[in-house]
Structure 1
Amino acid sequence: MKIALKIGYEGTAFFGSQIQPELRTVEGELLKALKEAGAIEDVESADLSSAGRTDTGVHAFSQIVSFYTVNPGLAIPRVINSKLPRDVWAWAYAEVPDDFDPRRHAVRRKYRYILSGDYDISKMREAAKLILGEHDFANFAKKDKKNPRSTVRRIEKLDIRVGTGIIRVDIEANAYLWNMIRKIVTALTLVGSGLRPVDWIEQMLDADNYEEGIEPAPAVGLVFMDIWYDPEPEWIMDGYAVRHVNEHYTKEAERHKVISTVMEQFIIHEKKPE
Protein backbone atom coordinates (compact mmCIF):
# COMPACT_ATOMS: atom_id res chain seq x y z
CA MET A 1 0.00 0.00 0.00
CA LYS A 2 1.13 3.53 -0.74
CA ILE A 3 0.70 6.24 1.88
CA ALA A 4 1.12 10.01 1.60
CA LEU A 5 1.93 12.16 4.61
CA LYS A 6 1.68 15.86 5.30
CA ILE A 7 4.78 16.75 7.24
CA GLY A 8 6.17 19.93 8.76
CA TYR A 9 9.66 20.81 9.87
CA GLU A 10 11.62 23.64 11.42
CA GLY A 11 14.54 23.63 9.02
CA THR A 12 17.25 25.41 11.03
CA ALA A 13 19.20 22.27 11.93
CA PHE A 14 18.70 20.42 8.63
CA PHE A 15 20.91 20.36 5.55
CA GLY A 16 17.78 20.56 3.40
CA SER A 17 14.97 18.07 2.88
CA GLN A 18 16.55 15.68 0.37
CA ILE A 19 18.53 12.78 1.79
CA GLN A 20 22.31 13.22 1.62
CA PRO A 21 25.04 10.89 2.90
CA GLU A 22 26.56 11.89 6.25
CA LEU A 23 24.29 14.96 6.62
CA ARG A 24 21.18 15.50 8.75
CA THR A 25 18.20 15.89 6.42
CA VAL A 26 14.41 15.73 6.73
CA GLU A 27 14.10 12.65 4.51
CA GLY A 28 16.90 10.95 6.41
CA GLU A 29 15.16 11.43 9.76
CA LEU A 30 11.80 10.39 8.32
CA LEU A 31 13.12 7.17 6.78
CA LYS A 32 14.84 6.30 10.06
CA ALA A 33 11.58 6.89 11.97
CA LEU A 34 9.49 4.87 9.49
CA LYS A 35 11.84 1.92 9.86
CA GLU A 36 11.96 2.15 13.68
CA ALA A 37 8.15 2.33 13.79
CA GLY A 38 7.85 -0.81 11.64
CA ALA A 39 6.05 1.03 8.83
CA ILE A 40 8.74 0.10 6.26
CA GLU A 41 11.21 -2.76 5.99
CA ASP A 42 13.98 -0.92 4.17
CA VAL A 43 14.71 2.33 2.34
CA GLU A 44 14.73 0.79 -1.16
CA SER A 45 11.31 -0.88 -1.00
CA ALA A 46 9.75 2.20 0.65
CA ASP A 47 10.58 4.28 -2.45
CA LEU A 48 10.00 7.54 -0.56
CA SER A 49 9.50 10.70 -2.65
CA SER A 50 8.70 14.33 -1.80
CA ALA A 51 6.65 17.07 -3.41
CA GLY A 52 9.63 19.38 -3.56
CA ARG A 53 13.16 19.88 -2.37
CA THR A 54 13.87 22.56 0.22
CA ASP A 55 17.35 23.95 0.82
CA THR A 56 19.36 24.14 4.03
CA GLY A 57 17.53 26.19 6.65
CA VAL A 58 14.18 26.33 4.82
CA HIS A 59 11.06 25.29 6.76
CA ALA A 60 7.80 23.55 5.86
CA PHE A 61 4.26 23.57 7.18
CA SER A 62 2.83 21.09 4.66
CA GLN A 63 5.43 19.16 2.69
CA ILE A 64 4.04 16.01 1.05
CA VAL A 65 5.89 12.70 1.02
CA SER A 66 4.73 9.31 -0.23
CA PHE A 67 6.07 5.80 0.37
CA TYR A 68 5.11 2.12 0.26
CA THR A 69 4.32 0.59 3.64
CA VAL A 70 4.27 -2.99 4.86
CA ASN A 71 2.07 -2.05 7.83
CA PRO A 72 -0.47 0.77 7.20
CA GLY A 73 -1.54 0.73 10.84
CA LEU A 74 1.93 1.94 11.82
CA ALA A 75 2.21 4.50 9.00
CA ILE A 76 0.14 7.13 10.79
CA PRO A 77 1.38 10.45 12.23
CA ARG A 78 1.06 9.71 15.95
CA VAL A 79 3.13 6.53 15.60
CA ILE A 80 5.74 8.05 13.29
CA ASN A 81 6.08 11.18 15.45
CA SER A 82 7.03 9.04 18.45
CA LYS A 83 10.20 8.12 16.54
CA LEU A 84 10.96 11.56 15.08
CA PRO A 85 12.95 14.44 16.62
CA ARG A 86 10.90 17.49 17.65
CA ASP A 87 11.88 19.60 14.64
CA VAL A 88 10.06 17.38 12.12
CA TRP A 89 6.56 15.92 12.42
CA ALA A 90 3.68 14.37 10.49
CA TRP A 91 0.12 15.63 10.98
CA ALA A 92 -2.12 14.11 8.26
CA TYR A 93 -2.11 11.05 6.01
CA ALA A 94 -3.94 9.48 3.07
CA GLU A 95 -3.99 6.24 1.12
CA VAL A 96 -2.95 7.04 -2.47
CA PRO A 97 -2.74 5.07 -5.74
CA ASP A 98 0.52 3.34 -6.60
CA ASP A 99 1.13 5.82 -9.43
CA PHE A 100 0.74 8.89 -7.16
CA ASP A 101 3.76 11.17 -7.51
CA PRO A 102 3.79 14.02 -4.96
CA ARG A 103 6.01 16.18 -7.19
CA ARG A 104 4.73 15.57 -10.74
CA HIS A 105 1.03 15.49 -9.81
CA ALA A 106 1.05 18.79 -7.91
CA VAL A 107 -0.99 21.55 -9.56
CA ARG A 108 -0.03 24.45 -7.28
CA ARG A 109 2.44 25.19 -4.49
CA LYS A 110 2.36 27.97 -1.93
CA TYR A 111 5.37 29.45 -0.14
CA ARG A 112 5.52 32.20 2.47
CA TYR A 113 8.51 34.43 3.17
CA ILE A 114 8.58 36.26 6.50
CA LEU A 115 10.79 39.29 6.96
CA SER A 116 11.08 42.42 9.04
CA GLY A 117 12.40 45.85 8.21
CA ASP A 118 11.41 49.34 7.18
CA TYR A 119 10.23 49.19 3.57
CA ASP A 120 7.91 51.16 1.31
CA ILE A 121 5.12 48.57 1.10
CA SER A 122 3.24 50.40 -1.67
CA LYS A 123 6.30 50.21 -3.93
CA MET A 124 6.80 46.55 -3.06
CA ARG A 125 3.19 45.87 -4.06
CA GLU A 126 3.67 47.74 -7.34
CA ALA A 127 6.69 45.57 -8.05
CA ALA A 128 4.74 42.43 -7.11
CA LYS A 129 2.08 43.23 -9.74
CA LEU A 130 4.79 43.24 -12.42
CA ILE A 131 6.00 39.80 -11.33
CA LEU A 132 2.54 38.21 -11.58
CA GLY A 133 1.87 36.10 -14.65
CA GLU A 134 4.17 34.21 -17.02
CA HIS A 135 7.74 35.48 -17.41
CA ASP A 136 11.28 34.33 -17.96
CA PHE A 137 12.71 34.22 -14.43
CA ALA A 138 16.32 33.52 -15.45
CA ASN A 139 17.50 36.56 -13.46
CA PHE A 140 15.70 35.23 -10.39
CA ALA A 141 17.21 31.76 -10.36
CA LYS A 142 20.43 29.98 -9.56
CA LYS A 143 21.77 28.56 -12.82
CA ASP A 144 21.72 24.77 -13.01
CA LYS A 145 24.55 23.99 -15.45
CA LYS A 146 24.16 20.21 -15.08
CA ASN A 147 20.45 20.18 -15.96
CA PRO A 148 19.63 23.28 -18.05
CA ARG A 149 15.89 23.78 -18.49
CA SER A 150 13.35 26.42 -19.37
CA THR A 151 13.33 29.36 -16.99
CA VAL A 152 9.79 30.42 -17.90
CA ARG A 153 7.36 30.13 -15.00
CA ARG A 154 3.90 31.48 -14.17
CA ILE A 155 3.22 33.19 -10.83
CA GLU A 156 -0.49 32.91 -10.03
CA LYS A 157 -0.53 34.91 -6.80
CA LEU A 158 1.86 37.25 -4.99
CA ASP A 159 0.51 38.97 -1.88
CA ILE A 160 2.34 41.22 0.57
CA ARG A 161 0.77 41.66 4.00
CA VAL A 162 2.00 43.68 6.94
CA GLY A 163 1.67 42.65 10.58
CA THR A 164 3.18 43.99 13.80
CA GLY A 165 6.79 44.47 12.78
CA ILE A 166 6.53 41.62 10.25
CA ILE A 167 5.97 41.44 6.49
CA ARG A 168 4.53 38.27 4.94
CA VAL A 169 5.09 37.60 1.25
CA ASP A 170 2.83 34.80 -0.06
CA ILE A 171 3.53 33.35 -3.49
CA GLU A 172 1.71 30.64 -5.42
CA ALA A 173 2.72 28.88 -8.64
CA ASN A 174 2.74 25.42 -10.16
CA ALA A 175 6.53 25.20 -10.10
CA TYR A 176 9.60 27.25 -9.21
CA LEU A 177 13.24 27.54 -10.17
CA TRP A 178 16.13 27.02 -7.75
CA ASN A 179 16.30 30.03 -5.35
CA MET A 180 13.53 31.77 -7.33
CA ILE A 181 11.35 32.73 -4.37
CA ARG A 182 14.21 34.02 -2.24
CA LYS A 183 15.54 36.10 -5.16
CA ILE A 184 12.07 37.54 -5.79
CA VAL A 185 12.00 38.57 -2.12
CA THR A 186 15.43 40.21 -2.51
CA ALA A 187 14.15 42.14 -5.54
CA LEU A 188 11.05 43.29 -3.65
CA THR A 189 13.15 44.52 -0.72
CA LEU A 190 15.53 46.37 -3.05
CA VAL A 191 12.54 48.23 -4.48
CA GLY A 192 10.98 48.70 -1.04
CA SER A 193 14.20 50.20 0.35
CA GLY A 194 14.57 52.62 -2.57
CA LEU A 195 17.75 51.00 -3.92
CA ARG A 196 15.99 50.12 -7.17
CA PRO A 197 13.04 51.77 -8.97
CA VAL A 198 9.85 49.81 -9.54
CA ASP A 199 10.42 49.56 -13.31
CA TRP A 200 13.74 47.77 -12.66
CA ILE A 201 11.58 44.66 -12.19
CA GLU A 202 10.59 44.89 -15.86
CA GLN A 203 14.28 44.85 -16.80
CA MET A 204 14.89 41.82 -14.60
CA LEU A 205 12.05 39.98 -16.33
CA ASP A 206 13.52 40.75 -19.77
CA ALA A 207 16.15 38.03 -19.52
CA ASP A 208 16.95 38.07 -23.26
CA ASN A 209 18.21 41.64 -23.09
CA TYR A 210 19.21 42.19 -19.47
CA GLU A 211 21.23 40.18 -16.98
CA GLU A 212 21.87 40.94 -13.32
CA GLY A 213 22.77 38.63 -10.48
CA ILE A 214 21.14 39.20 -7.10
CA GLU A 215 21.61 37.31 -3.86
CA PRO A 216 18.76 35.18 -2.52
CA ALA A 217 17.12 36.34 0.70
CA PRO A 218 18.21 34.31 3.77
CA ALA A 219 16.73 30.81 4.02
CA VAL A 220 15.54 31.42 7.59
CA GLY A 221 12.43 33.29 6.44
CA LEU A 222 11.12 30.80 3.86
CA VAL A 223 8.30 28.34 4.63
CA PHE A 224 6.80 25.76 2.26
CA MET A 225 3.15 26.36 3.20
CA ASP A 226 0.88 24.18 1.08
CA ILE A 227 0.43 22.11 -2.05
CA TRP A 228 -2.65 21.10 -4.06
CA TYR A 229 -3.53 18.12 -6.28
CA ASP A 230 -6.33 17.28 -8.71
CA PRO A 231 -7.84 15.04 -7.54
CA GLU A 232 -6.89 15.84 -3.95
CA PRO A 233 -6.04 12.83 -1.74
CA GLU A 234 -8.57 12.14 1.03
CA TRP A 235 -6.47 13.48 3.88
CA ILE A 236 -7.11 12.28 7.42
CA MET A 237 -5.88 14.74 10.04
CA ASP A 238 -4.43 13.12 13.13
CA GLY A 239 -5.94 15.13 16.00
CA TYR A 240 -3.53 13.71 18.57
CA ALA A 241 -0.49 14.67 16.47
CA VAL A 242 -1.89 18.13 15.74
CA ARG A 243 -2.52 18.88 19.43
CA HIS A 244 1.02 17.91 20.41
CA VAL A 245 2.58 19.95 17.60
CA ASN A 246 0.42 22.97 18.46
CA GLU A 247 1.31 22.77 22.15
CA HIS A 248 5.02 22.53 21.41
CA TYR A 249 5.18 25.40 18.92
CA THR A 250 2.90 27.66 20.92
CA LYS A 251 5.45 27.39 23.73
CA GLU A 252 8.34 27.84 21.27
CA ALA A 253 6.73 30.95 19.75
CA GLU A 254 6.32 32.52 23.20
CA ARG A 255 9.90 31.64 24.10
CA HIS A 256 11.24 33.26 20.93
CA LYS A 257 9.20 36.40 21.56
CA VAL A 258 11.00 36.71 24.88
CA ILE A 259 14.38 36.01 23.26
CA SER A 260 13.67 38.63 20.59
CA THR A 261 12.94 41.21 23.27
CA VAL A 262 16.09 40.22 25.13
CA MET A 263 18.13 40.72 21.96
CA GLU A 264 16.73 44.24 21.64
CA GLN A 265 18.18 45.06 25.06
CA PHE A 266 21.67 44.53 23.65
CA ILE A 267 21.35 47.25 21.01
CA ILE A 268 23.51 50.24 21.86
CA HIS A 269 21.83 53.51 20.96
CA GLU A 270 24.46 56.15 20.38
CA LYS A 271 23.62 59.69 21.42
CA LYS A 272 23.66 62.16 18.59
CA PRO A 273 26.11 65.02 19.10
CA GLU A 274 24.43 68.27 20.07
Structure 2
Amino acid sequence: MRVALKVAYVGTGYHGSQVQPDVATIEGELFNALTDLEIIDDPKSARFSSSGRTDAGVHAREQVVAFNTDKPNLAIPRVINSKLPNSIWAWAHAEVPDDFDPRRWAVSRKYRYIMSGEQYDISKIRAASKILVGEHDFANFCSKDEDKSTVRNVERIDVRVSGTLTKIDIQANSFLWNMVRKIVTALTMVGSGVRDEEWLTQMLDPESYEEGLEPASAYGLTLMEVKYPDPIDWCEDGYAIRRADENVHDYMVRHRVMAEVMESLVPREER
Protein backbone atom coordinates (compact mmCIF):
# COMPACT_ATOMS: atom_id res chain seq x y z
CA MET A 1 0.00 0.00 0.00
CA ARG A 2 1.16 3.54 -0.73
CA VAL A 3 0.65 6.02 2.10
CA ALA A 4 1.00 9.81 2.10
CA LEU A 5 1.64 11.98 5.14
CA LYS A 6 1.31 15.68 5.86
CA VAL A 7 4.37 16.65 7.87
CA ALA A 8 5.12 19.89 9.71
CA TYR A 9 8.42 20.98 11.16
CA VAL A 10 10.45 23.76 12.72
CA GLY A 11 13.40 23.96 10.36
CA THR A 12 15.75 25.68 12.80
CA GLY A 13 18.70 23.40 13.49
CA TYR A 14 18.24 21.27 10.37
CA HIS A 15 20.27 21.37 7.15
CA GLY A 16 17.14 21.42 5.03
CA SER A 17 14.55 18.76 4.33
CA GLN A 18 16.48 16.53 1.90
CA VAL A 19 18.62 13.81 3.44
CA GLN A 20 22.38 14.52 3.48
CA PRO A 21 25.27 12.55 4.97
CA ASP A 22 26.53 13.46 8.45
CA VAL A 23 24.11 16.34 9.11
CA ALA A 24 20.64 16.56 10.64
CA THR A 25 17.82 16.82 8.08
CA ILE A 26 14.05 16.43 8.14
CA GLU A 27 14.10 13.38 5.85
CA GLY A 28 16.88 11.83 7.89
CA GLU A 29 14.71 11.98 11.01
CA LEU A 30 11.71 10.62 9.10
CA PHE A 31 13.75 7.74 7.68
CA ASN A 32 14.99 6.85 11.17
CA ALA A 33 11.45 6.85 12.57
CA LEU A 34 9.96 4.81 9.72
CA THR A 35 12.71 2.20 9.76
CA ASP A 36 12.80 1.94 13.58
CA LEU A 37 9.06 1.21 13.51
CA GLU A 38 9.63 -1.26 10.62
CA ILE A 39 7.08 0.66 8.51
CA ILE A 40 9.65 0.65 5.70
CA ASP A 41 12.89 -1.28 5.20
CA ASP A 42 14.67 1.60 3.47
CA PRO A 43 13.63 4.75 1.56
CA LYS A 44 14.65 3.44 -1.86
CA SER A 45 12.70 0.19 -1.76
CA ALA A 46 9.73 2.05 -0.26
CA ARG A 47 9.86 4.60 -3.12
CA PHE A 48 9.93 7.43 -0.60
CA SER A 49 9.36 10.86 -2.16
CA SER A 50 8.34 14.33 -1.05
CA SER A 51 6.51 17.30 -2.55
CA GLY A 52 9.75 19.28 -2.65
CA ARG A 53 12.77 20.32 -0.67
CA THR A 54 13.16 23.17 1.79
CA ASP A 55 16.48 24.83 2.58
CA ALA A 56 18.30 24.93 5.90
CA GLY A 57 16.27 26.83 8.49
CA VAL A 58 13.03 26.85 6.47
CA HIS A 59 9.87 25.53 8.13
CA ALA A 60 6.79 23.68 6.89
CA ARG A 61 3.18 23.31 7.91
CA GLU A 62 2.26 20.94 5.08
CA GLN A 63 5.15 19.07 3.51
CA VAL A 64 3.72 15.99 1.77
CA VAL A 65 5.67 12.73 1.67
CA ALA A 66 4.70 9.30 0.34
CA PHE A 67 6.07 5.77 0.65
CA ASN A 68 5.09 2.13 0.19
CA THR A 69 4.48 -0.06 3.23
CA ASP A 70 2.99 -3.41 4.12
CA LYS A 71 2.16 -2.11 7.61
CA PRO A 72 -0.40 0.67 6.96
CA ASN A 73 -1.82 0.22 10.47
CA LEU A 74 1.46 1.65 11.83
CA ALA A 75 1.84 4.35 9.16
CA ILE A 76 -0.26 6.88 11.08
CA PRO A 77 0.86 10.18 12.63
CA ARG A 78 0.55 9.34 16.33
CA VAL A 79 2.68 6.21 15.92
CA ILE A 80 5.33 7.83 13.69
CA ASN A 81 5.55 10.90 15.96
CA SER A 82 6.56 8.66 18.88
CA LYS A 83 9.94 8.27 17.16
CA LEU A 84 10.34 11.86 15.96
CA PRO A 85 11.82 14.86 17.79
CA ASN A 86 9.33 17.50 18.95
CA SER A 87 10.41 19.79 16.09
CA ILE A 88 8.92 17.42 13.49
CA TRP A 89 5.44 15.92 13.44
CA ALA A 90 3.06 14.20 11.05
CA TRP A 91 -0.56 15.27 11.42
CA ALA A 92 -2.56 13.64 8.60
CA HIS A 93 -2.32 10.51 6.47
CA ALA A 94 -4.06 9.04 3.42
CA GLU A 95 -4.00 5.99 1.20
CA VAL A 96 -2.95 7.12 -2.29
CA PRO A 97 -2.58 5.47 -5.73
CA ASP A 98 0.47 3.28 -6.28
CA ASP A 99 1.94 5.78 -8.75
CA PHE A 100 1.35 8.85 -6.55
CA ASP A 101 4.32 11.22 -6.66
CA PRO A 102 3.87 14.15 -4.26
CA ARG A 103 6.20 16.38 -6.27
CA ARG A 104 5.15 15.61 -9.85
CA TRP A 105 1.44 15.46 -9.07
CA ALA A 106 1.38 18.82 -7.29
CA VAL A 107 -0.28 21.66 -9.23
CA SER A 108 0.64 24.52 -6.89
CA ARG A 109 2.39 25.36 -3.66
CA LYS A 110 1.98 28.20 -1.20
CA TYR A 111 4.73 29.73 0.92
CA ARG A 112 4.45 32.36 3.64
CA TYR A 113 7.19 34.79 4.56
CA ILE A 114 6.92 36.69 7.85
CA MET A 115 9.09 39.71 8.55
CA SER A 116 9.19 42.89 10.56
CA GLY A 117 7.28 45.47 8.55
CA GLU A 118 7.88 48.65 10.52
CA GLN A 119 10.52 50.02 8.12
CA TYR A 120 8.61 49.43 4.87
CA ASP A 121 5.86 51.19 2.94
CA ILE A 122 3.29 48.39 2.72
CA SER A 123 1.33 50.12 -0.04
CA LYS A 124 4.47 50.10 -2.22
CA ILE A 125 5.04 46.40 -1.49
CA ARG A 126 1.45 45.56 -2.41
CA ALA A 127 1.65 47.52 -5.66
CA ALA A 128 5.00 45.92 -6.55
CA SER A 129 3.71 42.41 -5.81
CA LYS A 130 1.09 42.77 -8.57
CA ILE A 131 3.89 43.12 -11.14
CA LEU A 132 5.17 39.64 -10.26
CA VAL A 133 1.82 37.85 -10.63
CA GLY A 134 1.47 35.81 -13.81
CA GLU A 135 3.84 33.80 -15.97
CA HIS A 136 7.32 35.33 -16.07
CA ASP A 137 10.97 34.37 -16.37
CA PHE A 138 12.24 34.46 -12.77
CA ALA A 139 15.92 33.92 -13.62
CA ASN A 140 16.82 37.04 -11.62
CA PHE A 141 14.92 35.69 -8.61
CA CYS A 142 16.59 32.32 -8.10
CA SER A 143 19.82 30.47 -7.58
CA LYS A 144 20.17 29.09 -11.07
CA ASP A 145 20.18 25.45 -12.13
CA GLU A 146 21.30 25.24 -15.76
CA ASP A 147 19.08 22.23 -16.46
CA LYS A 148 15.80 23.88 -15.50
CA SER A 149 13.55 26.42 -17.13
CA THR A 150 13.23 29.56 -15.04
CA VAL A 151 9.71 30.38 -16.26
CA ARG A 152 7.10 30.05 -13.52
CA ASN A 153 3.48 31.10 -13.05
CA VAL A 154 2.88 33.06 -9.84
CA GLU A 155 -0.83 32.68 -9.20
CA ARG A 156 -1.20 35.18 -6.37
CA ILE A 157 0.67 37.24 -3.82
CA ASP A 158 -1.13 38.47 -0.70
CA VAL A 159 0.47 41.02 1.60
CA ARG A 160 -1.04 41.83 4.97
CA VAL A 161 0.01 43.51 8.19
CA SER A 162 -0.31 41.79 11.56
CA GLY A 163 0.78 44.13 14.34
CA THR A 164 4.45 44.98 13.72
CA LEU A 165 4.84 42.05 11.33
CA THR A 166 4.17 41.75 7.60
CA LYS A 167 3.05 38.42 6.12
CA ILE A 168 3.58 37.72 2.42
CA ASP A 169 1.81 34.68 0.95
CA ILE A 170 3.03 33.54 -2.48
CA GLN A 171 1.33 30.79 -4.49
CA ALA A 172 2.75 29.43 -7.75
CA ASN A 173 2.65 26.34 -9.90
CA SER A 174 6.17 25.60 -8.67
CA PHE A 175 9.16 27.47 -7.29
CA LEU A 176 12.81 27.79 -8.20
CA TRP A 177 15.60 27.49 -5.66
CA ASN A 178 15.51 30.57 -3.35
CA MET A 179 12.76 32.12 -5.49
CA VAL A 180 10.45 33.11 -2.61
CA ARG A 181 13.23 34.56 -0.50
CA LYS A 182 14.61 36.60 -3.43
CA ILE A 183 11.12 37.87 -4.27
CA VAL A 184 10.83 39.03 -0.66
CA THR A 185 14.19 40.81 -0.96
CA ALA A 186 13.02 42.59 -4.12
CA LEU A 187 9.69 43.62 -2.56
CA THR A 188 11.42 45.02 0.54
CA MET A 189 13.82 46.98 -1.66
CA VAL A 190 10.83 48.63 -3.32
CA GLY A 191 9.06 49.03 0.03
CA SER A 192 12.06 50.82 1.51
CA GLY A 193 12.47 53.12 -1.50
CA VAL A 194 15.84 51.67 -2.54
CA ARG A 195 14.35 50.55 -5.89
CA ASP A 196 11.15 51.29 -7.78
CA GLU A 197 8.52 49.43 -9.83
CA GLU A 198 10.33 50.14 -13.10
CA TRP A 199 13.38 48.26 -11.77
CA LEU A 200 11.16 45.34 -10.71
CA THR A 201 9.69 45.15 -14.21
CA GLN A 202 13.24 45.09 -15.64
CA MET A 203 14.07 42.20 -13.34
CA LEU A 204 11.43 40.10 -15.11
CA ASP A 205 13.30 40.50 -18.39
CA PRO A 206 16.56 38.61 -17.67
CA GLU A 207 17.61 38.52 -21.32
CA SER A 208 18.13 42.28 -21.29
CA TYR A 209 18.75 42.95 -17.60
CA GLU A 210 20.56 40.84 -15.01
CA GLU A 211 21.12 41.53 -11.34
CA GLY A 212 21.84 39.26 -8.40
CA LEU A 213 19.77 39.38 -5.23
CA GLU A 214 20.54 38.11 -1.76
CA PRO A 215 17.78 35.84 -0.49
CA ALA A 216 15.90 36.99 2.60
CA SER A 217 16.73 35.11 5.80
CA ALA A 218 15.52 31.51 5.89
CA TYR A 219 13.95 31.67 9.36
CA GLY A 220 10.97 33.71 8.12
CA LEU A 221 9.88 31.21 5.44
CA THR A 222 7.28 28.43 5.78
CA LEU A 223 5.89 25.97 3.24
CA MET A 224 2.18 26.33 3.94
CA GLU A 225 0.30 24.15 1.45
CA VAL A 226 0.65 21.79 -1.50
CA LYS A 227 -2.34 21.39 -3.84
CA TYR A 228 -3.21 18.43 -6.05
CA PRO A 229 -5.64 18.22 -8.99
CA ASP A 230 -7.71 15.43 -7.44
CA PRO A 231 -8.82 15.62 -3.80
CA ILE A 232 -6.91 13.35 -1.41
CA ASP A 233 -8.98 11.78 1.36
CA TRP A 234 -6.81 12.98 4.24
CA CYS A 235 -7.43 11.62 7.73
CA GLU A 236 -6.31 14.20 10.29
CA ASP A 237 -5.00 12.86 13.59
CA GLY A 238 -6.56 14.91 16.40
CA TYR A 239 -4.19 13.53 19.03
CA ALA A 240 -1.12 14.36 16.93
CA ILE A 241 -2.41 17.89 16.32
CA ARG A 242 -3.05 18.47 20.04
CA ARG A 243 0.45 17.30 20.94
CA ALA A 244 1.93 19.52 18.22
CA ASP A 245 -0.02 22.48 19.60
CA GLU A 246 1.53 21.87 23.02
CA ASN A 247 5.02 21.69 21.53
CA VAL A 248 4.52 24.85 19.49
CA HIS A 249 3.26 26.66 22.59
CA ASP A 250 6.51 25.72 24.37
CA TYR A 251 8.51 27.12 21.42
CA MET A 252 6.53 30.35 21.54
CA VAL A 253 7.05 30.84 25.28
CA ARG A 254 10.77 30.16 24.94
CA HIS A 255 11.21 32.65 22.11
CA ARG A 256 9.21 35.36 23.89
CA VAL A 257 11.46 34.94 26.90
CA MET A 258 14.56 35.00 24.69
CA ALA A 259 13.37 38.23 23.06
CA GLU A 260 13.25 39.86 26.49
CA VAL A 261 16.64 38.40 27.38
CA MET A 262 18.17 39.84 24.21
CA GLU A 263 16.61 43.23 24.95
CA SER A 264 18.17 43.24 28.42
CA LEU A 265 21.70 42.49 27.18
CA VAL A 266 22.26 45.98 25.77
CA PRO A 267 22.66 48.80 28.32
CA ARG A 268 20.05 51.51 27.84
CA GLU A 269 20.17 55.13 28.88
CA GLU A 270 17.70 56.03 31.58
CA ARG A 271 14.76 58.03 30.27
TM-score, scaled relative to structure 1: 0.95
Describe the SS at the equivalent of 2:140: helix
Partner of 2:103: 103
Residues 267/241 of structure 1: CA separation in 2 closer, same or farther (3 Å cut): same
Gaps of 5+ in 2: none
Q: Which amino acid aligns with 1:95?
A: E
| Higher deviation after alignment, 252-261 or 171-180 | 252-261
| Counterpart Cα distance in 1 of 2:266 and 2:6 | 40
Q: Secondary structure at the match of 1:196?
A: coil
Paired positions, count: 269
Q: C-alpha separation between the residues in 1 aligned to 2:253 and 2:15?
A: 26
2:115 maps to 115
Correspondence for 2:187: 188
Whether the aligned pair in 2 keeps the contact of 1:41 and 1:70 (CA below 8 Å) is no
Counterparts of 1:269 and 1:186, CA distance in 2: 31
Give the whole-Å Cα distance in 2 for the aligned partners of 1:267 and 1:158: 38
For residue 106 of structure 1, give the secondary structure of its aligned residue in structure 2.
coil
SS class of match (1:13): coil
> Percent of pairs identical after alignment?
57
- Counterpart of 1:138 in structure 2 is 139
Within-5 A mapping of 1:223-234? 223-234=222-233
State how far apart, in whole Å, the 2-side matches of 1:261 and 1:61 are: 27
Q: Which moved more, 1:248-257 or 1:153-162?
A: 248-257
Kindly report which structure 2 residues correspond to 1:3-42, keeping only aligned pairs within 5 A, or say none.
3-42=3-42
Is 2:173 the counterpart of 1:174? Answer: yes
CA drift at 1:85: 0.9
Is 1:252 aligned to 2:251, yes or no?
yes
Cα offset for 1:177?
Answer: 0.8
Deviation of 1:199 (Å): 1.9
- The C-alpha deviation readout for 1:50-96, integer Å capped at 9, x for no partner, is 00111111110000000011200110000000001111110000000
**Corresponding letter in the other structure for 1:144:** D
**Counterpart in 1 of 2:204?**
205
Q: Provide the rounded CA distance (Å) in 1 between the counterparts of 2:35 and 2:108.
A: 31
Amino acid in structure 1 at the alignment position of 2:31 = L
AA at the equivalent of 2:128: A
Q: Which one-letter code corresponds to 1:259 in the other structure?
A: M
Q: Secondary structure at the match of 1:102?
A: coil
Describe the superposition over 1:125-147 as per-residue Cα deviations: whole angstroms up to 9, x where unpaired.
Answer: 111011111111110011114xx
Greater CA deviation, 18-27 or 104-113?
A: 18-27
Measure the CA separation in 1 of the matches of 2:33 and 2:174.
29
What's the secondary structure of 2:197's corresponding residue?
coil
Structure 2 CA distance for partners of 1:153 and 1:47, relative to 1, 3 Å: same
SS at match of 2:36: helix
Q: Partners in 1 of 2:70 and 2:76 — Cα distance?
A: 12
C-alpha deviation, 1:47, in angstroms: 1.5
SS of residue in 2 equivalent to 1:170:
strand
Q: Deviations over 1:92-138 (max 9, x none)?
A: 00000101010000011000011114111011111101111111111
1:175 Cα deviation after fit: 0.4
Give the deviation of 1:270 after TM superposition: 6.7
RMSD of aligned C-alpha atoms?
1.3
Counterpart contact for 1:59–1:223, Cα < 8 Å: yes
Deviation at 1:257, TM superposition (A): 1.8
Cα distance, 1:14 vs structure 2: 0.8
Once residues 136 and 100 of structure 1 are traced to their aligned partners in structure 2, the CA distance between those partners, rounded to angstroms, is 29
Partner Cα separation in structure 2 for residue 255 and residue 18 of structure 1: 27
Deviation at 1:250, TM superposition (A): 1.6
Residues 157, 223 of structure 1: CA spacing in aligned structure 2 closer, same or farther, 3 A cutoff?
same
With the length of structure 2 as denominator, give the TM-score of the two structures: 0.96
Q: Secondary structure of 2:261's match?
A: helix
Aligned to 2:49: 49
Give secondary structure in 2 for the equivalent of 1:73.
coil
Letter in 2 for 1:30: L
Query: How far 1:22 moved relative to its partner?
Result: 1.5
Q: Structure 1 residues 268, 185: closer, same or farther in 2, change over 3 A?
A: farther
